[in-house]
A = this chain, B = another copy of it.
Amino acid sequence: MLHNIRVVLVNTSHPGNIGGAARAMKNMGLSRLYLVDPEDFPSGEANARASGANDVLDAAIVVDTLEEALTGCSLVLGTSARDRRIPWPLLDPRECATTSLAQVEQGGEVALVFGREYAGLTNEELQRCHYHVHIPSDPAFGSLNLAAAVQVLVYEVRMAWLAAQNQPTKMNKVEATAMLNTQPVTVEELELYYEHLEQTLVEIGFLDPAKPRHLMSRLRRLYGRAGISKLEMNILRGILTETQKAARGESHPRTIPPIDNA
């Protein structure tokens, strides 16, 4: 699906930006790069900045006009840094991504078009776009580096694509959680912990049963929101058991000089 979304760079001055764009694309799973009349390409600087995404550069299609780069596209989105006199439907990068994904899901092809480093896209080029995309930068310093702008848009495309895949990132998290022994404790286990904790705090003289104040409820709030795993619970219970032994003089404390914890 990502294969049907291409990146089009118009009249790029710095080959380093072409390389940076290629790397950003490959990082996010995109591969089709079109270069409209680049000033310096191919270039060693582009390859250096691509940093392993040379295959994207090697497969890049160099054309003379924007029209050629848009061949076969059903949706064209052009980045626009400034407000233009001619009003146009304007999307933010997230809306750009969801609109693009919806288009390729329907069998269409999408072009994300980026203009020149200093001048952006011309009004004529912008009028070839179905939508304009504006990255919501600080108006006082609004112009992003070209490769950085590509990074933002292709990142949003990947986020939208992952969401469309039944959220595989969340799946991995679940699997990882199961594998890493982070199964959460039950309410009963947590209650047993609070009992053990309260008992221990009384034994070490920190909690006065006659004047409990809000101590246990504060500790419940803290541990309750931490989402403790079974493994962690074993550790916490172990600490309490050893604390009790020490308080009862049953343990054999290590003889090391105390650290000043003030």
Interface, chain A (partner B; CB < 8 A): 20, 23-24, 26-29, 49, 51-53, 83, 87, 90, 92-94, 135-138, 141-145, 147-148, 151-152, 155, 158-159, 162, 169, 173, 176-177, 180, 182, 192, 195-196, 199, 201-206, 209, 215, 218-219, 222-223, 225-228, 231-232, 235, 237-249, 251-254, 256, 258-259, 261
Contacts and interface: CB of A to CB of B under 8 A. Distances in A.
A204 B242 contact: yes
Sorted from nearest, which 10 A-B pairs have the closest CB atoms? Answer: A246-B247, A226-B226, A206-B242, A196-B261, A87-B180, A204-B246, A29-B138, A27-B137, A148-B151, A204-B242
Given A196-B261, A218-B231, A251 B204 contact: yes
A205 B143 contact: no
Contact of A148 (B29, B147, B182, B244): B147
Given A261-B196, A261-B199, A239 B206 contact: yes
A246 to B, nearest CB: 4
A190 B50 CA distance: 41
B87 A176 contact: yes
Copies of this chain per assembly:
2
A247 B215 CA distance: 22
A162 to B, nearest CB: 6
B253 A203 contact: yes
A215 B235 contact: yes
A134 to B, nearest CB: 9
B169 A136 contact: yes
A44 to B, nearest CB: 16
24 contacts: A23-B144, A27-B137, A27-B144, A27-B148, A28-B138, A93-B155, A136-B162, A145-B147, A152-B155, A192-B261, A196-B259, A201-B239, A202-B256, A203-B246, A204-B239, A204-B242, A205-B252, A206-B238, A206-B239, A209-B254, A209-B256, A218-B232, A226-B226, A243-B243
